[in-house]
Amino acid sequence: MVVNDNKIYMNVLQNGLDQGEEINKAVDEICNRNIENVFLVGCGGSLAVMYACNYILDTRSNIPSYAFNASEFNVINHKQFSENSLVILSSYTGSTKETVEAAKIARKAGAPTIGFMGKLGTPLAENVDFAFANDAATGVTDSKLIMLYQVIFRLMQNKGQCEDYDEIIKALKTLPTNLVKVKEKYEKTAEEFAIKYKDEDYFMTIGAGILWGETYSYATCIIEEMQWIKARSVHAGEFFHGSFEIVTRDTNVLLFRGEDETRPLCDRVERFCNKYTDKLTIIDTKDFPLEGVNEEYRGLFSPLVLSAALDRVSKHLEDKRNHSLKIRRYMGIVEY
Amino acid sequence: MVVNDNKIYMNVLQNGLDQGEEINKAVDEICNRNIENVFLVGCGGSLAVMYACNYILDTRSNIPSYAFNASEFNVINHKQFSENSLVILSSYTGSTKETVEAAKIARKAGAPTIGFMGKLGTPLAENVDFAFANDAATGVTDSKLIMLYQVIFRLMQNKGQCEDYDEIIKALKTLPTNLVKVKEKYEKTAEEFAIKYKDEDYFMTIGAGILWGETYSYATCIIEEMQWIKARSVHAGEFFHGSFEIVTRDTNVLLFRGEDETRPLCDRVERFCNKYTDKLTIIDTKDFPLEGVNEEYRGLFSPLVLSAALDRVSKHLEDKRNHSLKIRRYMGIVEY
Within a domain: residue A24? yes
Residue of B237, B181, B183, B249 whose CA lies nearest to B211: B237
Are residue B151 and residue B241 in the same domain, yes or no? Answer: no
The predicted structure's pLDDT at residue B296: 96
Q: How many other C-beta atoms are found inside a 10 Å radius of the C-beta of residue B126?
A: 14
B-chain residue closest to A62, CA distance = B79
The predicted structure's pLDDT at residue B165: 98
What's the Cα-to-Cα distance from A304 to each of A9, A235, B159, B161, B241, rounded to whole Å? 13, 19, 42, 42, 21
pLDDT band at A4 (very low <50, low <70, confident <90, very high): confident
How far apart are alpha carbons A252 and B108 in whole angstroms? 40
ipTM for this prediction:
0.98
CB-CB under 8 Å, B72 with A265: yes
Residue of A70, A217, A231 whose CA lies nearest to B204: A231
How far apart are alpha carbons A35 and A317 in whole angstroms? 44
Are the C-beta atoms of A260 and A301 separated by less than 8 Å?
no
| B229 Cβ contact list (under 8 Å, min separation 6) | A246, B200, B201, B202, B203, B223
The domain boundary, picked from A124, A143, A172, lies at A172
Interface of A with B in 312-331 (CB under 8 A): 328-331
| B12 Cβ contact list (under 8 Å, min separation 6) | B134, B136, B138, B139, B140, B142, B143
A264 contacts on B by Cβ (under 8 Å): 75
Within a domain: residue B335? no
Nearest to A44 among B220, B228, B241 (CB): B241
Are residue B110 and residue B194 in the same domain, yes or no? Answer: no
Q: How many other C-beta atoms are found inside a 10 Å radius of the C-beta of residue A34?
A: 7
CB-CB under 8 Å, B78 with A336: no
- What is the full DSSP assignment across B98-120? HHHHHHHHHHHTT--EEEEESST
Q: How many structural domains are present in chain B?
A: 2
Are the C-beta atoms of A146 and A47 separated by less than 8 Å?
no
Interface of A with B in 232-261 (CB under 8 A): 232, 235-238, 240-247, 261
Confidence check: pLDDT of A89 > 80: yes
How far apart are alpha carbons B81 and B109 in whole angstroms? 9
Count the alpha carbons within 13 Å of A103 in the hemisphere toward its beta carbon. Answer: 28
CATH number at residue A65: 3.40.50.10490
Confidence check: pLDDT of A197 > 90: yes
Are the C-beta atoms of B210 and B299 separated by less than 8 Å?
yes
Are residue A298 and residue A267 in the same domain, yes or no? Answer: yes
CB proximity B228 to A under 8 Å: yes
Its sign, for the CA torsion B265, B271, B277, B279, is positive
The predicted structure's pLDDT at residue B4: 78
Within a domain: residue A209? yes
Q: What values do phi and psi take at B202, rounded to 5? A: -160, 135
The domain boundary, picked from A172, A190, A218, lies at A172
CB-CB under 8 Å, B272 with A241: no
Residue of B222, B142, B135 whose CA lies nearest to B179: B142
Are the C-beta atoms of B244 and A50 separated by less than 8 Å?
no
Residue of A171, A165, A195, A174 whose CA lies nearest to A24: A165
CB-CB under 8 Å, B61 with A79: yes
The predicted structure's pLDDT at residue A186: 98
CB-CB under 8 Å, B230 with A230: yes
CB-CB under 8 Å, B76 with A261: yes
Within a domain: residue A331? no
Distance from CA of B223 to the nearest CA of A (A): 9
Q: What is the mean pLDDT of each run of 10 residues along chain B (336 residues)?
A: 88 96 98 97 98 98 98 98 98 96 98 97 98 86 96 98 97 98 98 98 98 98 98 98 98 98 98 98 98 97 98 98 97 94
Are the C-beta atoms of B119 and B15 separated by less than 8 Å?
no
With a pLDDT cut of 90, the percent of chain A lying above it is 96
Interface of A with B in 69-128 (CB under 8 A): 69-72, 75-80, 96, 98
* B177 CB-contact burial (10 Å; exposed 0-12 / middle 13-18 / buried 19+): middle
CB-CB under 8 Å, B43 with A240: yes
Residue of B72, B209, B242 whose CA lies nearest to A216: B242
Count the alpha carbons within 13 Å of B111 in the hemisphere toward its beta carbon. Answer: 25
Are residue A252 and residue A150 in the same domain, yes or no? Answer: no
Are residue A205 and residue A242 in the same domain, yes or no? Answer: yes
How far apart are alpha carbons A240 and A237 in whole angstroms? 7
Within a domain: residue B328? no
CB-CB under 8 Å, B47 with A62: no
Are the C-beta atoms of B85 and B114 separated by less than 8 Å?
no
How far apart are alpha carbons B189 and A157 in whole angstroms? 57
Within a domain: residue B114? yes
A79 contacts on B by Cβ (under 8 Å): 58-62
Q: What values do phi and psi take at A282, rounded to 5? A: -115, 130
Are residue B110 and residue B150 in the same domain, yes or no? Answer: yes
Are residue B157 and residue B17 in the same domain, yes or no? Answer: yes
Are residue A150 and residue A194 in the same domain, yes or no? Answer: no
Total residues belonging to chain B = 336
Select the residue from A41, A50, A241 to test the B interface by mutation, using most B Cβ atoms within 10 A.
A241
Count residue pairs from A and B with Cβ separation < 8 A: 190
Q: How many other C-beta atoms are found inside a 10 Å radius of the C-beta of residue B332?
A: 7
Q: What average pLDDT score do residues A77-102 get?
A: 97
Q: How many other C-beta atoms are found inside a 10 Å radius of the C-beta of residue B153?
A: 24
Mean pLDDT for chain A? 97
CB-CB under 8 Å, B237 with A72: yes
Within a domain: residue B327? no
Q: What average pLDDT score do residues A218-245 get?
A: 98
Interface of A with B in 256-285 (CB under 8 A): 261-262, 264-265, 268, 271-272, 276
Are residue A14 and residue A43 in the same domain, yes or no? Answer: yes
Nearest to B58 among A46, A79, A238 (CB): A79
Are residue B42 and residue B165 in the same domain, yes or no? Answer: yes
Are residue B146 and residue B24 in the same domain, yes or no? Answer: yes
Q: Residue B221 is part of which domain span? A: 177-321
How far apart are alpha carbons B86 and B103 in whole angstroms? 11
- Edge to edge, the sheet with strand A65-69 lists A65-69, A37-42, A85-91, A113-117, A130-133
- What is the full DSSP assignment across A149-200? HHHHHHHHHHTT--TTHHHHHHHHTTHHHHHHHHHHHHHHHHHHHHHHHTT-
Within a domain: residue B229? yes
Helical ranges in chain B per DSSP H = 6-18, 20-30, 45-60, 70-76, 97-108, 123-126, 140-158, 165-172, 175-197, 212-217, 263-276, 298-321
How far apart are alpha carbons B163 and B169 in whole angstroms? 12
| B133 Cβ contact list (under 8 Å, min separation 6) | B94, B116, B117, B118, B119, B120, B125
Are residue B247 and residue B293 in the same domain, yes or no? Answer: yes
CB-CB under 8 Å, B246 with A224: yes
CB-CB under 8 Å, A238 with B47: yes
The domain boundary, picked from A129, A154, A172, lies at A172
CB-CB under 8 Å, A228 with B220: no
Select the residue from B51, B245, B267, B269 to test the A interface by mutation, using most A Cβ atoms within 10 A.
B245
Interface of A with B in 175-204 (CB under 8 A): 202
How far apart are alpha carbons A56 and A88 in whole angstroms? 15
- Bridge partners of residue A65, in order along the sequence: A38
Are the C-beta atoms of A68 and B257 separated by less than 8 Å?
no
pLDDT band at A135 (very low <50, low <70, confident <90, very high): confident
The predicted structure's pLDDT at residue A137: 74
